[in-house]
């Protein structure tokens, strides 16, 4: 017991010690972030002010790339479209995921943790394989959907509109993100003291009123986390649109990729990236400022 105490004491002293020890503990992650996040970001910013001459990068400081971004409406329109698509994905995911989280937290009689594990099942398959399956096995000209519908005699010719458009991109993103964002919403719902729901019922609230006035507002932090989880990566999504999106499903990140890759214009690619970063951070900022969730809830 005494030994235990001294060990505990020593550990505590170490932590109490000085800022040095805290820095020491944080240093691996700090280093990681410096090297793999901050450094590339700074590089991007620097690069965005450079010029291209044929295939050569010219280190300088010009605003050409930004001027190009703001004068050609194609780019901002595409960014807007991507944000719109990401918004649709987020709405779909939260709309489907919230009832699942609610069911898991309040209604299930089977072990909720077993169900949660099952929910995570799809992530045992790599996303590349999933999207490959969608493109080649499910939605393609001779894929499962077309074969099935033709065999049933519902269609004569294979459908081509089921792929290569923005809606299928949204659909597949919803499919892949939904199980994932159940987690933060589930965690948030689990934290709600069940006696609060009884209290609401006791004070005359019907089950629906209880949900709107107590459950939903109290689970809002989880919903917010879920929104950020889906929205941010969806705005910058490029794998899904490039595989199943076709020209109609083209998203903003695809032109970033193209600038770095085929277009060979790294400075403009950097500018595109930074503009997306700024807009996305702006959205996150507004969401975190909460638009005063409480007020929205009051108005319901």
Nearest CA among 170, 282, 189, 184 for reference residue 229: 184
Q: Which of 46, 193, 278, 290 binds other proteins (CB under 8 A)?
A: 193
Q: Which of 126, 195, 295, 299 binds other proteins (CB under 8 A)?
A: 195
Could you give the string, one character per residue 143-182, with x where binding to other proteins holds by CB under 8 A and - elsewhere?
Answer: ----------------------------------------
Of 57-65, 109-117, 158-166, 191-199: span binding other proteins (CB under 8 A)? 191-199
- Choice between 64 and 190, CB closer to other proteins: 190
Distance CA 66, CA 228 (A): 27
The helix or strand, by DSSP H or E, that contains position 248, with its residue range, turns out to be: none
Record the tokens describing residue 190, joined without a space.
Answer: 């689990």
Distance CA 164, CA 175 (A): 17
Q: Which of 170, 200, 224, 226 binds other proteins (CB under 8 A)?
A: 200
Record the tokens describing residue 44, joined without a space.
Answer: 């991007």
Q: Does 212 bind other proteins (CB under 8 A)?
A: no
Nearest distance from C-beta of residue 113 to other proteins, angstroms: 23
Nearest distance from C-beta of residue 102 to other proteins, angstroms: 17
- Choice between 200 and 255, CB closer to other proteins: 200
Distance CA 272, CA 45 (A): 11
- Choice between 130 and 209, CB closer to other proteins: 209
Distance CA 104, CA 188 (A): 12
Distance CA 138, CA 144 (A): 5
201 and 207 in contact (C-beta within 8 Å)? yes
Q: Does 119 bind other proteins (CB under 8 A)?
A: no
Nearest distance from C-beta of residue 195 to other proteins, angstroms: 4
Q: Which of 46, 144, 155, 203 binds other proteins (CB under 8 A)?
A: 203
Footprint on residues 235-294 left by other proteins (CB under 8 A): 294
Q: Which of 24, 31, 59, 198 binds other proteins (CB under 8 A)?
A: 198
DSSP tally for the chain: helices H, then strands E: 16, 2
Distance CA 238, CA 240 (A): 6
124 and 143 in contact (C-beta within 8 Å)? no
Of 87-95, 147-155, 199-207, 279-287: span binding other proteins (CB under 8 A)? 199-207
CA angle 120, 92, 241 (to 5 degrees): 85
Q: Does 205 bind other proteins (CB under 8 A)?
A: yes
Of 56-64, 157-165, 210-218, 269-277: span binding other proteins (CB under 8 A)? 210-218
Per rule CB under 8 A, count of chain residues that contact other proteins: 19
Check residue 53 and report its DSSP letter: E
* 58: Cβ contacts below 8 Å, ≥ 6 apart: 50, 51, 52
**Which residues are at the interface with other proteins (CB under 8 A)?**
193, 195-196, 198-206, 209, 213-214, 217-218, 294, 297
């Amino acid at each position: 017991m005494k030994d235990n105490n001294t060990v505990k004491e020593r550990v505590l002293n170490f932590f109490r010690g000085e800022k040095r020890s805290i820095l020491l503990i944080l240093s691996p992650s700090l280093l990681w972030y410096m090297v793999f996040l901050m450094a590339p970001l700074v590089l991007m910013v620097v690069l965005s002010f450079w010029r291209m001459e044929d295939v050569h990068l010219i280190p300088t400081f010009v605003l050409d790339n930004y001027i190009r971004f703001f004068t050609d409406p194609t780019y901002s329109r595409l960014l807007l479209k991507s944000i719109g698509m990401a918004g649709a994905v987020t709405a779909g995911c939260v709309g489907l995921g919230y009832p699942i989280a609610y069911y898991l937290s309040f209604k299930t009689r089977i072990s909720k943790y077993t169900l949660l594990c099952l929910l995570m099942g799809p992530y045992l398959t790599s996303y590349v394989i999933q999207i490959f399956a969608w493109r080649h096995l499910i939605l393609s000209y001779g894929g499962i959907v077309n074969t099935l519908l033709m065999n049933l005699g519902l269609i004569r010719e294979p459908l081509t509109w089921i792929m290569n458009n923005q809606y299928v991109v949204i659909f597949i993103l919803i499919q892949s993100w939904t199980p994932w964002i159940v987690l933060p919403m589930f965690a948030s719902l689990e934290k709600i003291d069940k006696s609060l729901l009884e209290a609401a019922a006791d004070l005359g609230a019907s089950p629906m009123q209880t949900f709107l006035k107590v459950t939903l507002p109290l689970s809002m932090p989880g919903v917010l986390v879920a929104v950020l989880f889906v929205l941010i990566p969806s705005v910058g999504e490029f794998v899904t649109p490039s595989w199943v999106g076709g020209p109609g499903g083209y998203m903003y990140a695809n032109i970033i990729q193209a600038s770095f890759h085929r277009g060979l214009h790294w400075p403009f690619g950097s500018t595109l990236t930074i503009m997306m970063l700024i807009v996305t951070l702006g959205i996150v900022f507004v969401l975190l400022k909460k638009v005063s969730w409480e007020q929205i809830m009051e108005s319901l």
